[in-house]
Structure 1
Amino acid sequence: MREYCMVDLLTMEYAAAEITWRRKEIARRLIGTSANIKDHTINRIAPADLELLFGLYDELFLAGWFRHCFAGTLGFSLSSRLTKSAGKTLCPKDIAQRKPSEIRIEIRIGVNFFLQYHAVKNPKPVCGIATADSLEALQLVLEHEICHVIEFLHFHASNCSAARFKRLAGRLFGHTESYHKLPTAQQIARQKYGLRIGDAVSFRFEDTVLHGRVYRLNQRATVMVRDRFGHYTDGNGRRYTKYYVPLELLQK
């Protein structure tokens, strides 16, 4: 136990070839073990898969430090509400005042970035590294969040724009950037359906064709339709009703 806890996560460093090998080995083991992820295309995923993936990273990159030395709790969750960040690490604000056993950190992953990975044909780098498939993209996002976890535990704060984070991510995982270019809902709407925010559209609702404008684009479009009885008002006093419409049902 003592030898694990003497590992310094802040100074660990791997050569590029070693990082690539370990990342591929983790993918191989995950595919062989996960109940949901059976190849490099993610069609189904559960929080248990994230926990499994983190455990493999702990073993192959972090010398088992979390398994043997972390006294707190790590949580894993999936969210369809993350539309810009593909991952997020949640840490208690009073982490500095908590006992090690009272610390709970959660890694939350924006699931739609990976389920819709192939919806657009653009290159999809993550953390400055080109990705070939949705599993590799997920791995790189999790690597980024692992660096946040390490910073929170050591410094009680984390900032992926700062030099300290970039050094850590570079040494451990070869990251050169702190952002991703995975397909967003707006990119998918634009490329697949030709839709943009502000477009005039029509759609059928209860045997009536309604006309409005696209106000927001996520997994569905938010469309504002003029309605004198509507609950939403613009700056000119015009009233609207809000509708959530599947993208494929909209006509420009």
Structure 2
Amino acid sequence: MSRSDLRQFLMTLRLSPEQIRQRLEQIRSGLLAQSASIGNPNFEQLDEQDLAWLFEAYDTHFFNGLCRACLEDVPLSFRVSSRLTSAGGKTSRFRRRGSQRAERFEIAVSSTLLMQSFADLEREVTVAGVVCHDRLAALQRIMEHELLHLIEMLVWDVSNCSAERFQSLARQCFGHNGHRHALVTAREQAGVLGLRPGVRVTFPLDGRHQVGVLNRVTKRATVLVEDSRGVLYSDGKRYAKFYVPLDQLQPCE
């Protein structure tokens, strides 16, 4: 199956909002029925088999299997990533040095952002401009977005979600209203708890409470504790560095 076949299919694809809704609901109910890790829409666990199943389901329901056919013998792998802390997903193409042909593709989805969303912090979550009411809805929107990145790479060799072509495909295929995601980040969680860079915090370590300065927030917080044996910083003091889960930190009074 050639790139031109998939390109022609996309150019003639016209789905009504109701057709899109029905297909998305079929995929949603299908994943809930067959997944060993996703037992409910606000699941606590996600694995690569779920992502692989979603790819095949979307390819079947929306693209008549043309994505898989266009890949031919090029491997496509899936990864659940705890290290993606600002992007909901990422589609990567790997090439051998000096070659224009893709050696393999990978779609990664952030488990960190999914699990942080729809938890303690109550606010509207949107993915690709669509309001999501649970983790499964957010996961589907992320996979749809990443699938379009893959399709653009397969058909046009380059992909840019801020460009008109991508956004037009996103609207006509899935009813997306944008290309940005507003999932709950660790920094946002920390801000609600009063934990911001520069704030003095306390945390337990080996049965004692340590006091330090919050330096950075990613998946975990980076806390600097004064230590004469530590690294010298620009303020002239030496600090030991600790990586602490947010739920173990308390702002000092």
Query: Equivalents in 2 of 1:52, 1:109: separation in Å?
Result: 14
Moved over 4 A (4+): 4-7, 93-99
Which TM-score applies when normalising by structure 2?
Answer: 0.89
d(CA) in 2 for partners of 1:78, 1:230: 35
Q: Which runs of 5+ in 2 are unaligned?
A: none
Shift of 1:96: 10
Higher relative strand content: 2
Deviates further, 67-76 or 18-27: 67-76
Tell me the equivalent position of 2:143: 142
Instruction: Report Cα offsets for 1:207-246 as digits up to 9, x if no partner.
Output: 4432211112233211011212102x32233211101122
**1:59-98 equivalences in 2 (<5 Å):** 59-71=60-72, 72-92=74-94, 97-98=99-100
2:37 — aligned with what? 36
User: Is the aligned partner of 1:122 residue 2:112?
Assistant: no
1:187 shift after superposition: 1.5
> Cα deviations across residues 116-167 of structure 1 (Å, max 9, x unaligned)?
3222211001111111110010000000001100111112111111112111
> Within the alignment, does 1:223 sit opposite 2:227 as a pair?
no
Percent identity between the aligned chains? 36
Asked if the contact 1:90/1:106 (under 8 Å) is kept, the reply is yes
The equivalent residue for 2:200 is: 200
Query: Match for residue 233 of structure 2?
Result: 234
Per-residue CA shift, 1:31-86, capped at 9, x if unaligned? 11111112211211110110001110011111111233421211100111101101
Kept in 1, the 8 Å contact 2:213–2:223? The answer is yes
Residue 23 of structure 2: aligned partner: 22
**CA–CA distance in 2 between the matches of 1:75 and 1:95?**
20
- Aligned position for 2:245: 246
Structure 2 letter corresponding to 1:180:
H
Unmatched runs of 5 consecutive residues or more in structure 1: none
Q: Distance in 2 between matches of 1:87 and 1:170?
A: 19
Taking structure 1 as the reference length, the TM-score comes to: 0.90
Alpha carbons of structure 1 residues 16 and 97: separation in structure 2 relative to 1, 3 Å:
farther
What is the CA-CA distance between 1:205 and the residue it aligns to?
A: 2.2
Q: Secondary structure at the match of 2:230?
A: coil
| Paired residues of 2:75 and 2:104 also in contact (CA < 8 A) | yes
Give the total of aligned pairs: 247
Say if 1:70 and 1:163 are closer, same or farther in 2 by CA, change over 3 A: same
Q: Do the aligned residues in 2 keep the contact of 1:40 with 1:135 (CA within 8 Å)?
A: yes
Does the Cα contact within 8 Å between 1:37 and 1:43 map onto a contact in 2?
Answer: yes
Quick check: 2:222–2:242 contact (8 Å CA) kept in 1? Answer: yes
Amino acid at match of 1:107: I
User: What is the deviation of 1:177?
Assistant: 0.9
